[in-house]
Amino acid sequence: MSRPFISEKIFAFAHRSLLSTATALLFLGAMCFSCEQQAAESSESSEPAASENLVKGRNPVIWADVPDVSMIRVGDNYYMSSTTMHMSPGVPVMKSNNLVNWKLVNYAYDTLADIDALALRNGQKSYGRGSWASCLRYHEGKFYLSTFSGTTNKTYIFVTEDIENGPWETISFAPSYHDHSIFFDDDGKIYMIWGGGELRMVELREDLSGVKEGTERVLIENASAPSGSDIMLPAEGSQLFKVNGKYYLYNISWPRNDMRTVIVHRADQITGPYEGKVVLKDRGIAQGGLVDTPDGEWYSYLFRDYGAVGRIPYLAPTKWVDGWPVIGMDGAVPDTLNIMGAPQDLSGIVASDEFDREEGEADLPLEWQWNHNPLNDYWSLDQRPGYLRLINDRVDTSFLRTRNTLTQRTYGPVSSASVALDVSQLKNGDVAGLGALQLNYGYVGVEKKEDDLRIVMVNGTGGEFEEIESIDLENETVYFKISMDFRDLTDKAYFYYSLDGESWERIGNELQMRYTLPHFMGYRFALFSYATKEPGGIADFDWFRTSSKI
């Protein structure tokens, strides 16, 4: 993760003191992308197309919020896990057969735990927390996906023989090991390395149920040292690999007034001693690890902070020189990769949904995630076939507090999402619509007040509610759209409504989107409904459609 390994009180201070600095550095480290190149699309599967349609891969490999990636190859297939924190289901798993075309295939869990913070109960919330950076490994026929949570203060290991279909066995124990790497050594011992700045190591029990007593030790006292002495983010994000008999530990650090940096330490024994060096400093692209191809090529997988869209994954060719990984070309991560694949799009990561289900189909495709834990008795695709029904379970105070908000990633360089919404069963005080979810949120929706309906656009910059514009509504069906521009860190969202689904009108003002540390996630398109007077109101969404145009 890109958050320091610090206490909650210190972290709260870090939010206030470092946010402006971090934002400035992100902007200084940003690079202008070619809109035309990034907008290349295919409506087909994320698997490569016929040979005559293959093109060279490009960076970022996914222009959407897919941070803290951990990757493995099993045979000819690659699998990648990522972070989605307070979202449910959690710890997404993606698959590729060429490293550039990816699609979601599973999650490690449906819900992490039934506690107030994860369920938005009793004034508690888990924005920016939940589960953090995962580590994905394959060992003796089984897949191991480990993660940790500051919300539950536990470390989790999920185990399965079938990563695409499950089921998963869940193992958990205290404490919560920050940004850890799980490692299965050749002698049968299992280790976990974690921490920030000072990196520590423990040996796990054979059944993974916890730590062997007396095995904790300091592995590297100051893992940040290769990147300097004035460090804003101490070395973290550990991922350990063994190549040609040597151990290689990837970490990220962030020198003050500089950019995010990749550090690698190596040793002949897992216990050390380790020697380290900076192996990449390029536009803040950092944190990840190593993966090889069946024909012996090597790549480093990393990610880059890119404003409001979130943290987007990159792939860098990697060569071995004098026993060290040399990342990229001439010290930089290339924009174009010598990997042939289908034209890259987000069809395996985001998807339109007409909410029509055939028998045997999943209720919700993998592209959807709930904001915090869902209440399954208060949403349905069966009560009104062809519609997603959200039922208000309680009285809430704001868009950020409501439960059963259904989300998908936004994506670059530009993207938009639209919905059709039936508001005939809203109750007085209800609000429902389409939102741009982050701390600095915005939404366009319908509010029912004194038996009258009106369209409203709300700008929630800084988490504070401000109604910008309202329009009386006579229709029971209304259409909403949000368009987002992430080109060159523009990070602006625009809000629209329609009475017929064809002719669109701007409403309210533009939202200046900002990636904030309290939410620590790229913006999400969000379908929502909440009550301010009494529960029981119903919002019926007929469809959700996403587009790479604005």
pLDDT tens figures, 215-226: 999 999 999 999
Alpha-carbon distance values, 424 to 215, 421, 446, 475, 540 (Å)? 62, 9, 11, 9, 9
pLDDT above 70 for 421? yes
Whether residue 315 is found in the same domain as residue 417 = no
Helix (H, G, I), strand (E, B) or coil at 309: helix
Least confident residue range of 48-52, 107-111, 179-183: 48-52
- Domain membership of residue 343 (yes or no) is no
Matching residue, tokens 């870090």: 14
Whether residue 379 is found in the same domain as residue 307 = no
User: Do residues 429 and 421 make contact, with C-beta atoms less than 8 angstroms apart?
Assistant: no
- Domain end among 316, 338, 360: 338
* 377: number of Cβ within 10 Å: 9
Give the E-state strand segments of 197-285 in sequence order: 198-203, 217-220, 231-243, 246-255, 261-267, 275-280
Going by C-beta distance under 8 Å and a sequence separation of 6 or more, which residues neighbour residue 359?
none
Helix (H, G, I), strand (E, B) or coil at 360: coil
| Mean pLDDT within 254-263 | 96
- Domain membership of residue 397 (yes or no) is yes
| Mean pLDDT within 241-247 | 97
pLDDT of residue 8: 35
Q: How far apart are CA 120 and CA 490, in angstroms?
A: 32
Going by C-beta distance under 8 Å and a sequence separation of 6 or more, which residues neighbour residue 463?
400, 439, 440, 441
> Which of 190, 138, 183, 136 has its CA nearest to residue 161?
138
User: Do residues 351 and 408 make contact, with C-beta atoms less than 8 angstroms apart?
Assistant: yes
- Domain membership of residue 381 (yes or no) is yes
User: Do residues 400 and 461 make contact, with C-beta atoms less than 8 angstroms apart?
Assistant: no
**What pLDDT digit, counting tens, does each position of 112-154 carry?**
999 999 999 999 999 999 999 999 999 999 999 999 999 999 9
- Domain membership of residue 169 (yes or no) is yes
Q: How many domains does the chain have?
A: 2
pLDDT of residue 39: 38
Whether residue 330 is found in the same domain as residue 288 = yes
Rounded mean pLDDT of the chain?
Answer: 92
118 membership: H or E segment, kind and range? helix 116-119
> Which of 412, 482, 461 has its CA nearest to residue 65?
412
What pTM was estimated for this model as a whole? 0.90
- Domain membership of residue 249 (yes or no) is yes
Question: How much of the chain, in percent, has pLDDT values that exceed 70?
Answer: 91
pLDDT above 80 for 43? no
Whether residue 235 is found in the same domain as residue 195 = yes
Strand partners, 104: 94
pLDDT above 90 for 25? no
User: Do residues 139 and 339 make contact, with C-beta atoms less than 8 angstroms apart?
Assistant: no
pLDDT of residue 53: 86
Whether residue 323 is found in the same domain as residue 440 = no
pLDDT of residue 463: 80
| Mean pLDDT within 339-353 | 95
Question: How much of the chain, in percent, has pLDDT values that exceed 90?
Answer: 89
User: Do residues 511 and 492 make contact, with C-beta atoms less than 8 angstroms apart?
Assistant: yes
Q: How far apart are CA 179 and CA 95, in angstroms?
A: 22
Least confident residue range of 37-46, 319-328, 363-372, 385-394: 37-46
Whether residue 57 is found in the same domain as residue 130 = yes
Q: How far apart are CA 214 and CA 226, in angstroms?
A: 30
pLDDT above 80 for 11? no
pLDDT of residue 175: 97
Q: How far apart are CA 84 and CA 65, in angstroms?
A: 9
Phi, psi of 10 (to 5 degrees): -65, -40
pLDDT of residue 544: 98
| Mean pLDDT within 40-53 | 47
Whether residue 146 is found in the same domain as residue 74 = yes
- Domain membership of residue 357 (yes or no) is no
User: Do residues 442 and 462 make contact, with C-beta atoms less than 8 angstroms apart?
Assistant: no
Whether residue 400 is found in the same domain as residue 511 = yes
User: Do residues 349 and 303 make contact, with C-beta atoms less than 8 angstroms apart?
Assistant: no
- Domain membership of residue 459 (yes or no) is yes
- Domain membership of residue 354 (yes or no) is no
End-to-end CA distance of the chain: 31
User: Do residues 373 and 379 make contact, with C-beta atoms less than 8 angstroms apart?
Assistant: no
Helix (H, G, I), strand (E, B) or coil at 183: strand
Whether residue 407 is found in the same domain as residue 298 = no
Whether residue 305 is found in the same domain as residue 420 = no
Between CA 546 and CA 550, with CA 547 as vertex, the angle to 5 degrees is 125
Q: How far apart are CA 300 and CA 314, in angstroms?
A: 8
pLDDT of residue 16: 36
Q: How far apart are CA 442 and CA 458, in angstroms?
A: 6
pLDDT of residue 464: 85
Amino acid code (one letter) for 146: S
User: Do residues 387 and 527 make contact, with C-beta atoms less than 8 angstroms apart?
Assistant: no
**What pLDDT digit, counting tens, does each position of 488-501 carry?**
999 999 999 999 99
Range of the domain at 276: 8-338
Strand partners, 525: 408, 436
What CATH number has the domain bearing residue 445? Answer: 2.60.120.200
pLDDT of residue 30: 40
| Mean pLDDT within 253-260 | 96
Least confident residue range of 1-10, 127-136, 223-232: 1-10
What CATH number has the domain bearing residue 100? Answer: 2.115.10.20
User: Do residues 351 and 362 make contact, with C-beta atoms less than 8 angstroms apart?
Assistant: no
pLDDT above 90 for 393? yes
> Which of 408, 536, 437, 416 has its CA nearest to residue 480?
416
Helices (DSSP H) in 4-74: which residue ranges? 8-28, 35-38
Whether residue 319 is found in the same domain as residue 209 = yes
At 512, is the pLDDT very low, low, confident or very high (cuts 50, 70, 90)? very high
At 51, is the pLDDT very low, low, confident or very high (cuts 50, 70, 90)? low
Q: How many residues does the chain have?
A: 550
Alpha-carbon distance values, 471 to 265, 418, 452 (Å)? 60, 19, 11
pLDDT of residue 218: 98
